[in-house]
A and B are shown apart, each in its own frame.
Chain A
Amino acid sequence: DAEITQSPRHKITETGRQVTLACHQTWNHNNMFWYRQDLGHGLRLIHYSYGVQDTNKGEVSDGYSVSRSNTEDLPLTLESAASSQTSVYFCASSPFSSDKIYEQYFGPGTRLTVT
C-alpha cells in the first residue's frame, strides 16, 4: 500500500545544530508540504513543493529550508535549531489536480525538541 513516512519520529537536539527531518511518500504525488503544529496555533505551513526542483515558502519559513530532487522525498532542514522550533512536524502530500482542489495525506509526524 502507498504511504507517507517520516523519520525520525522523535528527535532531541541542541540549539544551533543543523537538523534534517526526512519525508518519503510512495503515492507518486506531485505536491508535498511541511507543517508544524503547536498548541493554540493549529497546523502552519512551512514550505511546499509542486514537483521536482520546485520549492516555495509558506507562512513560517524562516530558519527552515527544503529541497526536492525526486518525486518521493522532501527533506526539511533546520539550519541552526532554536528553542522556538520545538514542535511537532508533519509532512503531507497530495496529487496534482487541474482545479487545485485536493485532499492532503499526512505522515505520522516528527516530535522535535530543541534544548
Chain B
Amino acid sequence: SQKIEQNSEALNIQEGKTATLTCNYTNYSPAYLQWYRQDPGRGPVFLLLIRENEKEKRKERLKVTFDTTLKQSLFHITASQPADSATYLCALVPSYNTDKLIFGTGTRLQVFP
C-alpha cells in the first residue's frame, strides 16, 4: 500500500543542537516533496519544497534532503531554538500524473533551553 511515514513520537532536543526529522514513503514516485510547520491550533505554514532531481535545498537554518533511492527526505534545523518547537509535516505529490498533496501525520519537535 502507499503511505508516508513520519516518526509519531516527539523529538526532544536541546537548544543549539541540530534537529533531524525523517519522512519515509513507500510505493510513490513523487515529483516533489514539501515540508510544512504547524503550531497548535493553527494551520500549516509552508517551509521548503524540493524536487526529485534535487539532492538538497537550504533556507536559512533549514535544510532538506531528498533521496529517491532510499525513498526518504530528511529535514534539518541547525542551531535549534525553543521557537522552533512545533509539528513538522512532510507532503508529497505522488506522481507526475497528479498535483494533489499527500500529507504525513507529522513529527512534533520540542526544543528545550
Chain A residues packing against B (C-beta within 8 Å): 35, 40-45, 48, 58, 90, 92, 100-109
Interface contact B43-A109, CB-CB below 8 Å: yes
B46: which A residues are within 8 A, CB to CB?
A: 103-105
User: In residues 31-55 of chain B, which contact A (Cβ within 8 Å)?
Assistant: 31-32, 34, 41-46, 49, 51
B49: which A residues are within 8 A, CB to CB?
A: 101, 103
B42: which A residues are within 8 A, CB to CB?
A: 108-109
Could you say which of B89, B99, B100 contacts A42, with CB atoms under 8 Å apart? Answer: B89
Interface contact B103-A43, CB-CB below 8 Å: yes
Could you say which of B32, B103, B106 contacts A101, with CB atoms under 8 Å apart? Answer: B32
A100: which B residues are within 8 A, CB to CB?
A: 93, 99
Q: How far is the CB of B23 from chain A (nearest CB, A)?
A: 11
Interface contact B43-A107, CB-CB below 8 Å: yes
Q: Does B81 contact A (CB under 8 A)?
A: no
Q: How far is the CB of A54 from chain B (nearest CB, A)?
A: 14
A41: which B residues are within 8 A, CB to CB?
A: 105
Residues 82-113 of chain B, each 1 if its beta carbon lies under 8 Å from chain A, else 0: 00000001010100000111011110000000
28 CB-based A-B contacts, threshold 8 Å: A35-B103, A42-B4, A42-B103, A42-B104, A42-B106, A43-B44, A43-B89, A43-B91, A48-B100, A58-B100, A90-B44, A92-B43, A100-B99, A101-B31, A101-B32, A101-B49, A101-B93, A102-B99, A103-B34, A103-B49, A104-B44, A104-B46, A104-B101, A105-B46, A107-B43, A108-B41, A109-B41, A109-B43
New A-B contacts (18) at CB < 8 Å, excluding given A41-B105, A42-B105, A102-B99: A35-B103, A40-B105, A42-B103, A42-B106, A43-B44, A43-B89, A43-B91, A43-B101, A45-B101, A58-B100, A92-B43, A100-B99, A101-B31, A101-B32, A101-B51, A104-B46, A106-B45, A109-B43
